[in-house]
Structure 1
Amino acid sequence: MALRADWLPALTAFESAARHQNFAHAAEELHLTASAVSHHVRKLEARLGVALFQRHARGVALTAEGRQLADAAGIALADVEGVLRHLRSARDGQRVRITTLHSLTYTWLMPRLPQFAAAHPDIALSVDTEIALTRFDDGGPDLGIRHGPGHWPGLSAHYLMDDSLFPVASPRYPDLARIAGARDIAAQTLIADHSHQGWHDWFRAAGVHGAKLEERYVFRDSTDALNAAAHGLGIALARARIATPYLADGRLRRLPGPALPARWHYYIVHPAHRRLRPAARVFVDWLLALPKD
């Protein structure tokens, strides 16, 4: 007798019922009703022409024929599950899980990812842009890109690139024509974010002292601050890596004043206690080889 595809639901229901010796428990495992499991089993018994279970008031028990089929079905389904698990593992082995900053992903990483996709079409990426520092537990991300001092407990860190800060505003900003130098910026509407360096650091570097600064608008994320500036809300202190696409397409214009070297840099990080998987290693090498101009 040939095994047809429409036998598989009945065999699956039977195998679960035989393993649990209980239709209700099988139904819970398979997300079915107990009557649906019973129907599948009776359909299988009718096709085979044998009783697979003895039914009694306290429940069910396998017949000799039922035990024979249960053993074979259990082995077969376990073999299939093993192959499926192997295939999923092989697929996941080609997926790199990355945690990074939303601002850097949106403005620097995303425009470059098509290059990686073209060079490595077999590697899939999962990108998490949570602001909070992600834990690199087992089952967590393979690697991350962080902005910081370059040393974190339990992580290996590889220098990726530096950064600098300078003021930017929309070409439509109302007082743009009046800004000739850094001191003129101090009298304008200032936009800030939660970066570790801010307007006070920049004005100090620009030689502006004693000015009363008012950060009218403060955003948690750097891209939100740049978007606010692009809409003419005020003047933002931009990180060069993040501001590049805004400057390139004309949404923002760099204002007079120095570029303040960032105190912190960008690093690729991954757990020090485990070796990077091959696909993750490929992605790290690709990042490190990117032009940083």
Structure 2
Amino acid sequence: MALRADWLPALAAFESAARHQNFAHAAEELHLTASAVSHHVRKLESRLGVALFQRHARGVSLTAEGRQLADAAGSAMADMEGVLRTLHGTRDEHDRVRITTLHSLVYTWLMPRLPDFHQRHPHIRLSIDTEIALTRFDDGGPDLGIRHGPGHWPGLTAHLLMDDALFPLASPHYPGLPAIREAADVTRLPLISDHARQGWLDWFRHAGVHGAKFEESYTFSDSTDAMNAAAHGLGAVLARGRIAQPYLDAGRLQRLPGPALKTRWSYFVVYPSHRRLRPAAQAFVDWLLAQPTED
């Protein structure tokens, strides 16, 4: 069956509806009405002689035939958008990926892994933003982000990158450290904290230390500063394992007695649901999600 030019509007409407699993959201993206999107889809179904969506009270879902066409249409649209961006922009911008994430994660987890990405994709340029403010994914903004949170953000697609756990650390040279033999003994140390949602009170409760008095002597807005403070002998820090590992490997910090507390939040790779990733950004996402995250 030859693909005629008058099929293209219907295919574009179907591809958007299939990606969103929602006619209204597709209409908003395409600047059409929901009824217009529905008309295009029904026209396509009539021409093909198959049902592409199952329609029910809560919305729509793809049939097996619809999924097959959606995969092909999505791939074709992404290829065309990649070519159009290449023709419209400079080569540098085509191969540049803008990422927003946490300074602590870049410094301790991402940076040691970037040489591997460069070796695999030497033509891709990365711009990494670690500003504290939550970034908006507007046109001209970052392509993707790595966020620490619950995994649900309006308008964003989120892929789990890795979980994490909290446990106390201190410099191996801290005076009197051999006397810290159990979790309750940690309360005697000057405690260092950051602005994370879970803190010392949560960890002591998890460790079975109830009613003990403790004082947070130092508080930092960035987790990297908190760990550096502990490495310089200022006290014990409650650290996330993923960003603490380089300090442990280098012997600058060591674990104190007590259990690891699984964090309520995890790390996610996020990007706008309404916008397809450019090939360079998709390559970076694929590389991120392929990183080994086992301890």
TM normalised by structure 2 equals 0.70
Q: 1:114 to 1:87 in 2, by over 3 A?
A: farther
In the alignment, the residues of structure 2 paired with residue 164 and residue 182 of structure 1 have an alpha-carbon distance, to the nearest angstrom, of 16
Residue aligning to 1:10: none
Residue aligning to 1:97: 98
In the alignment, the residues of structure 2 paired with residue 180 and residue 257 of structure 1 have an alpha-carbon distance, to the nearest angstrom, of 9
Residue aligning to 1:173: 174
- Partner SS state of residue 114, structure 2: helix
Offset, 1:88: 5.1
In the alignment, the residues of structure 2 paired with residue 238 and residue 97 of structure 1 have an alpha-carbon distance, to the nearest angstrom, of 28
In the alignment, the residues of structure 2 paired with residue 176 and residue 289 of structure 1 have an alpha-carbon distance, to the nearest angstrom, of 39
Q: Counterparts of 1:153-192 in structure 2 under 5 Å?
A: 153-192=154-193
1:271 aligns with 2:275: no
Is there any run of 5+ residues in structure 2 with no aligned partner, and where?
1-85
Residue aligning to 1:127: 128
Residue aligning to 2:7: none
Residue aligning to 1:112: 113
- Partner SS state of residue 110, structure 1: helix
- Partner SS state of residue 268, structure 2: strand
Provide the alpha-carbon RMSD of the alignment: 1.2
In the alignment, the residues of structure 2 paired with residue 87 and residue 244 of structure 1 have an alpha-carbon distance, to the nearest angstrom, of 43
TM normalised by structure 1 equals 0.70
What do residues 248-289 of structure 1 show as CA deviations (whole Å, max 9, x unaligned)? Answer: 010000111000001000000001111000100000000000
Offset, 1:175: 2.1
AA of the residue aligned to 1:181: E
- Partner SS state of residue 210, structure 2: coil
In the alignment, the residues of structure 1 paired with residue 132 and residue 186 of structure 2 have an alpha-carbon distance, to the nearest angstrom, of 29
Identical-pair percentage: 70
What do residues 119-154 of structure 1 show as CA deviations (whole Å, max 9, x unaligned)? Answer: 000101000011111111100000000000000111
- Partner SS state of residue 161, structure 2: strand
In the alignment, the residues of structure 1 paired with residue 272 and residue 90 of structure 2 have an alpha-carbon distance, to the nearest angstrom, of 20
In the alignment, the residues of structure 2 paired with residue 199 and residue 89 of structure 1 have an alpha-carbon distance, to the nearest angstrom, of 50
1:139 aligns with 2:140: yes
Q: Which is higher, the Rg of structure 1 or of structure 2?
A: 1
In the alignment, the residues of structure 2 paired with residue 287 and residue 130 of structure 1 have an alpha-carbon distance, to the nearest angstrom, of 20
In the alignment, the residues of structure 2 paired with residue 153 and residue 290 of structure 1 have an alpha-carbon distance, to the nearest angstrom, of 26
Offset, 1:174: 1.1
In the alignment, the residues of structure 1 paired with residue 181 and residue 194 of structure 2 have an alpha-carbon distance, to the nearest angstrom, of 24
In the alignment, the residues of structure 1 paired with residue 100 and residue 259 of structure 2 have an alpha-carbon distance, to the nearest angstrom, of 32
Residue aligning to 2:213: 212
- Partner SS state of residue 200, structure 1: helix
Is there any run of 5+ residues in structure 1 with no aligned partner, and where?
1-84
